Amino acid sequence: MDFTPTEEQAAARDLAARIFGDLSTHERLTAAGTGSDAELWKALCEAGLPAAVEDIGLLGLVLLLEEQGRTTAQVPFAASCVYGLLAVSAHGSAEQRERLLPAIGDGTVVVTGALPEAAVRVGGSGELSGVVPVVPWLRDATHVLVADDEHGLWLVRTVDARCEPVELTAPWSAGRLTLDATPGEPLGGRLGERERVGGSDAEAAGLDAYGDVLATARTAFAGLQAGVCAGSVARTVAHTNTREQFGRPLATKQGVQLRAADAYMDTEAIRVTAYEAAWRRDEGLDYAAHALTAAWWASEAGSRVVHAGQHLHGGTGADLDHPVHRHFLWGRQLDAYLGCGSEVLQELGALIVDGEGDA
C-alpha cells in the first residue's frame, strides 16, 4: 500500500485547501446559516475540482474532502462527487456519462443521494413512489440518486419530485423527498437494458452498483470526518496553548495533553482507514470490508474527537456561535450518516462470516 498522493492529487488538494481557507470563513459560515455557500461552490467548480475527481480517483476525493472538513465548508461537494460523478462514471451508460459528467463537473448539475434508504417502489413503467425522510443537500440538488426496495439505483430530477426543507444537526441543506409516480432514470440505461446486464438475475447488476456506491460514499464521508476532526483538534491546540488557568496555559496540564493526544490518534485512525479503502477502490481491489472499517472509525472515533474538542474549550465550547461548535455538529451528523458505528460493525461482521463461509 502506498498512500503517497500523486502530483495531480497533491496539486488538487493544495488548491482546495487554499479555496476553502480563503472563502469558508467564520463570517461567511455565519451568514450562510443552515444553507450552502453558492459563491464558494462556484469557485470550486470554476477551479475544476469536482471535474478533477474523475482523474484523481476516490483517494484524491478523500484528500479534497479532508480540506472541506477542516473548515466545515457548506457546499455539496462530497454528495455531488460520490452520488453523481463517481456513480455515473462507474455505473452509468455511455449516454449518461456523456450527458451528465461534464455538467456535474462544472456544477450545473448537482447530485445528492437517498442512500442507504431503500423504501422506494418501482412501477411497471419505471415510475417511483415512496418517501425518504432526510436527504442531505437536497435543497441544492438538481438530481437525486435513489435506491429502490430491491437496491436498484435511479436518477430522479428534483423538479419532478416534492422536496421539503428539513433541518439536521449539521447545516447540510437537507430535505424530505416524496415520490408519487415520479419518473426515474435507471442508472446504467433503460430498464430493459439493465435487466439484460444482470443476465438471468435482474437484481444482480443493481445490487452490485448499490453496494459500490454505498461503500464509496462511506469511504468519502469518512475522509470528510477526518478533516472535521483535524480541524477540531487544530482549534483545540490553539485554544489550550493560549488560554491560561492559574497563570499557566491549559496545554501544560497532563490531563489536557492526554485528551488531546487521544483525539489526535483517533483522527489519524479515521484518516488512514479512509485512505486504505479509497486506495483499494482506485486499484480495483476488493474494498467493501475496508469501507465499513473506515465508516466505523469515522462514527466511533469521530464522535469522541469532536466531543473532546468542545470539552477542552471549556465554557467557550458551549457557545453555539463558536467555530469549534460547527465541528461538533458536523462530527455528530457524520457519526450517524450512512450507518452508526454499531450498524456498520454488524455489517462488517456479517461480511466476514459470509466470506469465511464462501471459502
Mean pLDDT across 19-34: 92
Note the pLDDT of residue 199: 34
Write the CA distances from 24 to 41, 44, 72, 165, 321, integer angstroms.
10, 11, 8, 23, 15
Percent of the chain with pLDDT over 70: 93
Note the pLDDT of residue 201: 31
Q: Name the band, by pLDDT with cuts 50, 70 and 90, for residue 204.
A: very low
- pLDDT tens, position by position, 237-251: 998 888 767 778 877
Mean pLDDT across 286-297: 95
Residues near 3 by beta carbon (within 8 Å), at least 6 away in sequence: 59, 272, 275, 276, 279
Helices and strands in the chain: count of H runs, count of E runs: 13, 10
The grid coordinates listed for 332 are 455528530
In sequence order, the β-bridge partners of residue 127 are 183
The SS3 assignment for 135 reads strand
Strands 248-249 and 244-245: antiparallel
Distance CA 199, CA 205 (A): 9
Q: What is the mean pLDDT of the chain?
A: 90
210 has a pLDDT exceeding 60: yes
Note the pLDDT of residue 2: 73
181 has a pLDDT exceeding 90: yes
Mean pLDDT across 294-301: 97
191 has a pLDDT exceeding 60: no
Q: Locate cell 415520479: which residue?
A: 182
Check if the beta carbon of residue 109 is closer than 8 Å to that of residue 143: yes
Q: Name the band, by pLDDT with cuts 50, 70 and 90, for residue 358.
A: very low
Q: Return the amino acid letter for 128.
A: L
Percent of the chain with pLDDT over 90: 77
Distance CA 8, CA 85 (A): 18
Which of 15-24, 159-168, 201-210, 267-276 is the least confident region? Answer: 201-210
194 has a pLDDT exceeding 80: no
Mean pLDDT across 23-46: 93
Mean pLDDT across 306-313: 93
203 has a pLDDT exceeding 50: no
Asked if the peptide bond before residue 171 counts as cis, ω within 30 degrees of 0, the response is no
Q: Name the band, by pLDDT with cuts 50, 70 and 90, for residue 215.
A: very high
175 has a pLDDT exceeding 50: yes
118 has a pLDDT exceeding 70: no
Number of alpha carbons in the 13 Å side-chain half-sphere of residue 70: 18
- Tell me phi and psi for residue 189, to 5 degrees: 125, -170
Q: How many CB atoms are closer than 10 A to CB 18?
A: 12
Give pTM, 2 decimals: 0.92
**Structure-model confidence comparison of residues 199 and 254, the more confident one:** 254
Distance CA 64, CA 43 (A): 14
Which of 65-74, 112-121, 155-164 is the least confident region? Answer: 112-121
103 has a pLDDT exceeding 50: yes
233 has a pLDDT exceeding 80: yes
10 has a pLDDT exceeding 50: yes
202 has a pLDDT exceeding 50: no
- pLDDT tens, position by position, 125-169: 889 999 999 999 999 999 999 999 888 999 999 999 999 999 999
The grid coordinates listed for 228 are 472535521
